[in-house]
Structure 1
């Protein structure tokens, strides 16, 4: 089953019960405003006589209103599901792909292509197109499709890889929809809860900890294992590997879990299946240790290499952060087990993590060490978890380095100067490294450029690069409001604008696909700025590491390594949205950070960028910008 568009519109309107225009809803759902208006009409037909409606107000948009709460609640509980969800529609390519994967992964015999086509009500040519997608998905799990004349097709590969594919492709986040045991949905859910309870009790008995996400993944894999054992599909584990696993704490816990599962499901778990469960546990354990001595020497060496690689390529030095080394070590130790067995930890907050562009880029660079060491490709889900650790460390570093040196200049005597100083300290102490005061005459003698900010109650004519804010002698509330953005965010819009250029700001850009856009922007950049390499090719290389497009319609391409002695940002607002790696994009922010860049402007840009990427309302407004000033007014504040 899948959500209807009507349900998605309903969810948007009822989330905060405020006005939305059809254009805003269309941008969120990636459809036209006309389609939204048509769906709202249909929604109102459904809601008629049920105590609610969507009202449209000229100049404001539409808003959800409930007139009879009791009627509405009865409707939601008894009838809404009929309109909110549809059954599988094989006109939907994704539904067809999932169906083909399902029938092939759960079959050990050859299946005739014509039989599958008849089930899907599609032509053989359409099936062949869908099969190409299926093959590309299976390739990630080292599985192949074998065809045999007059017999059909089937999947070939290891049982372990088949189970991982089943878990990741078919049942993650929606396992309750499937009835593996030919029971009702209600009983099916009870069985899932029974598996969960057995696992949790085993963990409690052995004082063993894993995350909630890892627990859910383990329950899914146990669920699938029972199904596969019942159908005669058993795991194979090499004898030497079985001996190694039996020495682990995880194997003992796996034995306990399988004993209880055997009793509940009347199924026997051979040693190879117990080993399979212990492999999953190895990749999911949380360590309660909190010192560097608890981390294996091999992992410590890898972490040092990873941090050195970050330092070398993007000039962020985290090598001396012991807290980071410990947290990374505790995370990477089970990660190595996952990599070696082809397992993956799901990451439900990946999209939000990726919005911290600096941390995610640093993590992408760091995992290359693991890729080469273990001959793997670390997934975006796993990169996201490493990015979380790096994000905390980068923030910790910024807190230390972003404290400011402030000069207060007062023309009303030492008493007023001290009053201004203590008022300033009381409001902004956490942002201050040094705070000095002086009068107008002494201000002419000292080097004003050594300060980050000058706050003065009298006009200063002496030239300085430092930002000067003029205030009253008593630092009133309006003065504090004027100072606060600088203290919290470091620089203002004028300084931030130095990273942008009118020549590299494009609106209503009309091109056919994403790669044409990247090529066009690369050519325009080359016309204006000298680069130390091929920007277009470097961006393509970066896209291979992980996609730079987001669910909010923004893409942030950038070269894999710095190619310039100047930091600059290019912005392109597209005439029409285009598809980029299954995401719809209409705003591109192309980043070019100069080699060995460590300026406060760039730190502030990343700060603003992170805030911008988390604010859907800002993004919608920014896409309507007609010029750079309008864009920066939205982006910076």
Structure 2
């Protein structure tokens, strides 16, 4: 049941409890801004399993009220929270089960969890399957003991990181809830938050608000675990913690020891040092010290980006500096499972798709060489650095190579040259002139654009921009315009409408096989599509997914489309429209613009509404 449905049943019960009188369906519908029928259906659905609930709704002649049983207020609040889970989404239930088994050192029975959540045995077993998969991501495993239940086996640091990541994000509105789920009170949150800020101010160390709240939550749960006798045994550091971070950690721990009355072992102090070094906001004016290893990582990544996407960042010193400041703390965060949520991730993926692909390539290099998986949140932060670098490339026209064909006299060619120099700030040394005769044997591979005032009477291995009015307005990119039309890539053998697939894997494998049938793409193409999908899910919202190859492995650009009768679960989102894309090696110079043009369509809800009604290729061509 979705969030709207969940809130309705809870609000109905809260209204009935608070007022303690009979309410008609009409009165409730006005308070909830829904129909009377919806109110009746909500209450009927609740009453079907009412024997499980401590709060009963009774139906009277005119309306509804709460049965007058004595239920204390604390029990009611606990019930309403569990009710949210019972009527909420499965992800919330998974997190509840994770927290329950991680917080409890003893065995936990699944049937008891099912009763707490008011769900059936098959449902709890389905949820628990996903819980086990989540635990595996933190190198944790489940052990079962007949008659006793299940328990979690693994290192203490991994248990803590998994638990904290399952908590709601700490905010001013939910501090009490987060503190309770860490086994503490909101007063503890405020004290630890104060102690952190005091140490940071004393040492003139910058940490974001998100970073401070995150560290506060980690420390609350750490204190609860240590009180129960669960300590971190060892932390293996592959780098030296800076002196400032080490001093802050020692001062902070000293204050916490005095407040909570027990000593923190050295490994717990290291735990705090790691958090600080992985969250440094780098807001000061100190120059970034780029280690040789970090510089090598960035060089290798940018080499890979140049080979795959064509962007040349090798001489971008600003990008090198910003990435150096970002990558070392990022690797530390990944190693110790510290995730900084990215509140604008979806906007980044939609607005800066090419920068996001650069970040995905960086993630692939890190995974191959360091066996570390970069989260989507981290990819979003990396994308911002690459987007600025792409903007710098776009602004730098001085390196563009232009060939002007002298078809109607040298004077005309010189006028063209002068106009291009002035409008696009391209140096005269980067603009070449040649005659039509010379063009026959000219190597055009080193030119970004070829411009002529007359039609070339023979085929050339390059698109040509024809300028009839040399004093009028024109763009050096217009030679690519005909290849920027999405219609030119529609192949009716690769477009499938209203299909009946059940999941992501089935759809991707189907489309890859069809591309192979039509273009002979081979197994390597499918492998590259799955490589990209496994690095970061390609669902982009708006019920759309765009699976695509990690690198260019087809000569020509290929689009395949599959629309579905019913939306399926992709990763965390539902998807109904799947565009499989392979940008061709021959289209490298337009692939970035083509990708953005496609995305602008797919993120337009009005265009997707039109697509939903399309039954064939002819209809698709009509809306492109």
TM-score (norm 2): 0.71
Q: Contact 1:491–1:604 (CA<8 Å) still a contact in 2?
A: no
Deviations 1:459-515, CA, capped at 9 Å, x for gaps: x777695345778x997xxxx7xx69x979973686554344344344334434333
Q: Contact 1:404–1:452 (CA<8 Å) still a contact in 2?
A: yes
Alignment of 1:608 with 2:582, yes or no, is no
Q: Contact 1:292–1:325 (CA<8 Å) still a contact in 2?
A: no
Shift of 1:342: 3.4
Q: Which residue of 1 aligns with 2:550?
A: 560
Deviations 1:179-238, CA, capped at 9 Å, x for gaps: 46669x9x9656545533432332232121233433332232123223333444333336
Q: Contact 2:6–2:84 (CA<8 Å) still a contact in 1?
A: no
Alignment of 1:54-65 (within 5 A): none
Shift of 1:327: 1.4
Shift of 1:278: 1.0
Distance 1:561 1:526, change over 3 A: same
Distance 1:494 1:168, change over 3 A: closer
Distance in 2, matches of 1:111 and 1:585, equals 36
**1:150 counterpart SS class:** coil
Q: Which residue of 1 aligns with 2:114?
A: 117
Alignment of 1:172 with 2:169, yes or no, is yes
Deviations 1:570-611, CA, capped at 9 Å, x for gaps: 23333332221232112222111233x564432320232454
Alignment of 1:33-52 (within 5 A): 46-47=32-33
Deviations 1:426-473, CA, capped at 9 Å, x for gaps: 9xx468778xxxxxxx999998998959799xxx777695345778x9
Deviations 1:141-175, CA, capped at 9 Å, x for gaps: 11222223433322222221111111111233579
The structure 1 residue matched to 2:84, chosen from 72, 84, 88, is 88
Q: Which residue of 1 aligns with 2:343?
A: 348
Alignment of 1:384-463 (within 5 A): 384-400=380-396, 429=423
Alignment of 1:308-387 (within 5 A): 308-355=303-350, 356-387=352-383
Q: Which residue of 2 aligns with 1:135?
A: 132
Q: Which residue of 2 aligns with 1:466?
A: 464
Query: Where does the alignment leave 5 or more consecutive residues of structure 1 unmatched?
Result: 9-40, 50-83, 435-441
**1:155 counterpart SS class:** strand
Q: Contact 1:242–1:275 (CA<8 Å) still a contact in 2?
A: no
Distance 1:244 1:534, change over 3 A: closer
Distance 1:574 1:130, change over 3 A: closer
Further displaced range: 277-286 or 290-299: 290-299
Q: Which residue of 2 aligns with 1:218?
A: 215
Deviations 1:257-307, CA, capped at 9 Å, x for gaps: 334445566665443322211110111113468899711111112222222
Distance in 2, matches of 1:177 and 1:287, equals 27
Distance 1:134 1:461, change over 3 A: closer
Q: Contact 1:101–1:134 (CA<8 Å) still a contact in 2?
A: yes
Further displaced range: 143-152 or 551-560: 143-152
**2:539 counterpart SS class:** coil
Alignment of 1:250 with 2:245, yes or no, is yes
Q: Which residue of 2 aligns with 1:535?
A: 525
Q: Which residue of 2 aligns with 1:204?
A: 201
Deviations 1:55-99, CA, capped at 9 Å, x for gaps: xxxxxxxxxxxxxxxxxxxxxxxxxxxxx9994232543343222
Query: Where does the alignment leave 5 or more consecutive residues of structure 2 unmatched?
Result: 9-26, 36-79, 429-433
Alignment of 1:520 with 2:531, yes or no, is no
Distance in 1, matches of 2:262 and 2:621, equals 63
Q: Contact 1:532–1:563 (CA<8 Å) still a contact in 2?
A: no
Deviations 1:87-136, CA, capped at 9 Å, x for gaps: 42325433432222122111112233443333234444443332221111
Distance 1:171 1:158, change over 3 A: farther
Q: Which residue of 2 aligns with 1:294?
A: 289
Distance in 1, matches of 2:392 and 2:28, equals 51
**1:4 counterpart SS class:** helix
Alignment of 1:498 with 2:516, yes or no, is no
Shift of 1:531: 2.5
**1:498 counterpart SS class:** helix
**2:280 counterpart SS class:** coil
**1:252 counterpart SS class:** helix
Q: Which residue of 2 aligns with 1:587?
A: 577
Q: Contact 1:552–1:616 (CA<8 Å) still a contact in 2?
A: yes
Distance 1:95 1:256, change over 3 A: same
Further displaced range: 625-634 or 204-213: 625-634
Deviations 1:390-429, CA, capped at 9 Å, x for gaps: 23223322333597969999x9xx9xx99xx99x999xx4
Distance in 2, matches of 1:241 and 1:466, equals 57
**1:171 counterpart SS class:** coil
Distance in 1, matches of 2:389 and 2:533, equals 25
Q: Contact 1:226–1:267 (CA<8 Å) still a contact in 2?
A: no
Distance in 1, matches of 2:426 and 2:82, equals 58
**1:294 counterpart SS class:** coil
Distance 1:215 1:497, change over 3 A: farther
The structure 2 residue matched to 1:278, chosen from 255, 273, 280, is 273
**1:491 counterpart SS class:** helix
Q: Contact 1:364–1:545 (CA<8 Å) still a contact in 2?
A: yes
The structure 2 residue matched to 1:233, chosen from 210, 230, 233, is 230
**1:336 counterpart SS class:** helix
Distance 1:432 1:219, change over 3 A: farther
Distance in 2, matches of 1:207 and 1:632, equals 60
Alignment of 1:158-169 (within 5 A): 158-169=155-166
**1:145 counterpart SS class:** strand
Shift of 1:138: 0.9
Shift of 1:552: 2.1
Distance 1:290 1:533, change over 3 A: farther
Distance 1:617 1:181, change over 3 A: same
Distance in 1, matches of 2:269 and 2:448, equals 65
Q: Which residue of 2 aligns with 1:21?
A: none
